Structure formats: C-alpha cells, structure tokens
Amino acid sequence: MVLQLEPLHTCNLTCTGCGRIREYSTNLKDMVPLEKCLAVANECDAPMVSICGGEPLIYPKIEELIAGLREQGRVIYVCTNGVFMRKKMRDYLAAIYSPDVEPKVKRLIDEKLLSEKDAEAIRKPSDAARAKVVIRPTKWMYWNVHVDGLEFTHDLIVEREGVFKECIEAIKMAKILGYQVATNITVYKETDVQELEEMFKYLSSLEVDGHTISPGYEYDAAKKDMVKRLNKQPEDFFLTRKMTRQKFARIQQWGEKFTIFGTPVYQEFLDGRRELTCTAWAIPTYNIKGWKAPCYLMTDGHYDGYQEMLAKVQWDKYGVVNGVARDPRCENCMVHCGYDPSGALGTSYQSGDNWKNIKYNFGSKPKPWPASQELMKVAFNGVSIGKGHLAEAKAAINSPRAAMNGAQAAFSRKAEPDHQHEGGACGAGDTSERDALLAKIKDAKKAE
Ligand code: SF4
Ligand code: SF4
C-alpha cells in the first residue's frame, strides 16, 4: 500500500536516538540511484510512496525522483525535517516566476518567509534556474514535516535550536504557495499528551492538511532479559501496548477535531477498542541494502527483489495474534507501518469497517483551529523566548541531580547499534534515548 523509499541515509541533523543515521552508512556515496528508485516503485507498485531517509531533500535527484514517481501516477509523501524546504520552494518560484507570481512573492516578504535578496534572485533567475526540475505543488504530493513537540521539546530532540521555527516558516510558505502539508508525529513513552494536543491546535491553525501519527517502538533483548531476571515491570523499559493505549485514549476525539491520516480501524486498535494482526509486507521498505525484512523497524535481512522478499520471508513468524506474540520483538509493537494497512486491507474485518474507512477518509474534514496570539505563545516556548536547549534545558540535563539519574547519558549519542532491532528514521525505532530525554524535559519544565 505504501513504499517506504530511503534513497539515502545522510542527514543534516543528528536527532537523539535516530536509528537510521547510526545503523546505515550516511556517506553520500551510498545512495540508491534514481533509476533504481523508480524501478523499485514499479516493482512493488504501491500507490503511495513515502520518500524518507536520512533527509530526502539532500538526495541530489530528489526533484527528478518526485517527478518520476508522479509520472508513474503515485501519491508522494516527502518525509523531511523541514530545514531545506524553503530552499526547494525558492527554486520552484524561480523556475515559474512571472508578474502573476509577484503578489505571492510580496506576501512571503511581508510575512518574513522570504528575504529581499532571495526575492531578487527569484525575480531575475538564471537560465539554469528556469530550466531546473523543481518540486511543484500538486494534490498528489505532501510535504510530511517531522515535528515531535512544541519548540522547546522539538529543538531539544533534534539537538539544534531554531529547527522548530524553520519548520513552521516552511509550513507557512508551503501553504501560501499551494502545497499540501502533513506532519509526521511519533509518540514516545514520555510524550506529554497535553503538549501533543496543543501542537495539533497550533498546526491546525496554520491550515496543515493532516497528521501522520504513530507510537514509537523499540525492542531490546537486554531489557527483556532484565524484566525476567530482575523481576522489573515491562513498563519501566518499554512503551507497552497498555501504555500506548493510554497515550492514544483520546485519538477518536483528536480525529474529530484534527485531520489524522490513516484508518479509523487502526485508531480503534491504538486506543484498545479492537485487535489487529500485523501486515508489515503491505508497507515495505527499500534502501541502499535492498528490500528490508520483515518491516521498517526490524531487520532480519535484505532482499534484492520485492517478490523474492514476499516469497522467502516467513510472515507468519511475525506480529501478535490474539494477544500472543509470534516473535518476542513484536510483543509491544503497534506502529502504523505494521498495523495501519491491516485496517485498510480488512485482514481483521468487522462488519461496517469499509464504510467507516471511506466515510472517515472521504467525508468532510475538521475545520482549522482558530489562530491566536495565545496559541503562538504556547508553541514558541523555547529558543524564541530565550529558553533554548543550549541554555536552560541543557543546564537542567547537566545538573548533578540529572547526572545521578542518567540524564546526561540520554543526551549523548549512542555509539553502538542495537542489532536486535534497527531503529527507524524520523522518530520510529529505538526510542529509549528520546524517552529519557523527554523525561528530562518534563523535569526541567516542572522545575521552572
Ligand atoms: S509487529 Fe511490528 S515489529 Fe513485528 S513485524 Fe509487525 S511491524 Fe515489525
Ligand atoms: S530522525 Fe530524521 S531528521 Fe533526525 S537525524 Fe534521523 S533522519 Fe535526520
């Protein structure tokens, strides 16, 4: 149903706990060639392609890749950390500039989303800029911007001040230019649900078109062993199914107020109203090593062909059926790449599901949340008001008390990959470092 295409694993950021930039080569030499990307999209023939990574806007042929996938008639999500989005949209403006575009250019300048200097370059483009293949707004493509919290939290997680602000400016520019924008949100063990709701409100007030949302998940054999040997509670280590269901208890209400992408059947699974079985083969991942099996999160092997992967992987070894994990690593997994397709494919069909899915996805969407100064103040609660991660937050994390309970370790990068379970990009995957960091953010906020 969706191809997760990772043309490269290079990234301009080094987010806490990101698995991809640590587990695969991030050398720019290690990329999937454009022709291969287009060929694998044809091979598995998923109607939707999510281009992720790494940071896909670093991929030198990203424009050609998007154009090629559009020619194949696919819906495209560009999963980005947002930092290079405005550059790509300036390229688009330069390529199409005419006097008709001037009102939009002026508006972007007025709203401080474009500098006078950049506007001049757009008004007098070189021949090369006019001829460049660019990313154009279309109803078949979404910018899918990675946002894991409001300014304070998000900048801390991505380990760079100003990234949240840049994401917001990119989203505003994209909306003015007519692009569709989604946000890509991962919920961790320590995610503050109240903050999440404020974030939905703020993003909705910017007229963001919708949100992809999933619980993060990690499996670590060492932790599992500690549960067994030390008689600890699984909740001490994992975002368990029970905890995920608590976090997502209000997803139905969120879906009424904000546009949450996916199926209502998956939402019922997330909040505990029903069970589903995993259909990881329906959202396959292709990257520099090949077709990754069995899923986006877990790696038991890579295959050269999609059909080969389908045929050789013993799919009935994975997932959870009637509460029993077929593989211990799947026990607490509820991620969207494993279970959202189950809701759409009807693998655990209940009467009325199809109508429910159609009504939810093609019915009227919630209206944008009213914009207000108060909401903006809530959103910009970090570096914009002098509370960046390099100042107060880092001080809190580096305090003697934090050192004692391991917060400093949470902020430092993980050197050794976890071979039991390879983490995912932009939030999915190894969540332990982020969970620990989010716990410290909460502490730091409480201490204010
Ligand atoms: S249950 Fe989760 S971890 Fe297990 S195969 Fe499915 S998607 Fe992967
Ligand atoms: S989570 Fe995404 S943005 Fe962050 S380092 Fe990893 S690939 Fe880059």
Pocket perturbation via mutation, ligand 1, pick of 318, 348, 420, 421 by most ligand atoms within 8 A of CB? 318
- pLDDT, tens digit (0-9, with 9 covering 90-100), for 303-360: 999 999 999 999 999 998 887 899 988 988 999 999 999 988 988 889 999 999 999 9
Q: What is the pLDDT of residues 153-191, one digit of tens each?
A: 899 888 899 999 999 999 999 999 999 999 999 888 878
Residue keyed to tokens 């209940």:
350
Please name the amino acid found at residue 439: A
The tokens describing 411, both together, are: 């902020």
Interval between CA 63 and ligand 2 midpoint (Å): 20
CA distance 287 to 52: 10
pLDDT, one tens digit per residue, over 113-135 is 999 999 999 999 999 999 999 99
Tell me which of 158, 163, 212 to substitute to probe ligand 2's pocket, judged by most ligand atoms within 8 Å of the beta carbon: 158
The H or E element containing residue 448 is none
Q: For residue 278, give the ligand nearest its CA.
A: 1
Shortest-distance atom of ligand 2 to CA 54: 7
Tokens of 139: 């109803």
Residue type at 312 in one-letter notation: K
pTM of the shown model: 0.88
The ligand minimizing its distance to the Cα of 293 is 1
13 lines ligand 2 (CB under 6 A): yes
| Burial class (CB within 10 angstroms; exposed 0-12, middle 13-18, buried 19+) of 104 | middle
Q: How many whole angstroms from 357 Cα to the centroid of ligand 2?
A: 31
Residue with CA at minimum distance from ligand 2 atom 4: 15
Measured from CB, residues less than 6 Å from any atom of ligand 1 are: 278, 280, 294-295, 297-298, 318-319, 329-330, 333, 335, 337-338
**Residue minimizing CA distance to atom 8 of ligand 1:** 295
The best mutation among 240, 285, 295 to test binding of ligand 1, ranked by most ligand atoms within 8 Å of the C-beta, falls on 295
Is the distance from the beta carbon of residue 113 to the nearest atom of ligand 2 less than 6 Å? no
pLDDT in tens, 79-95: 999 999 999 999 999 99
Residue owning tokens 């329906």: 282
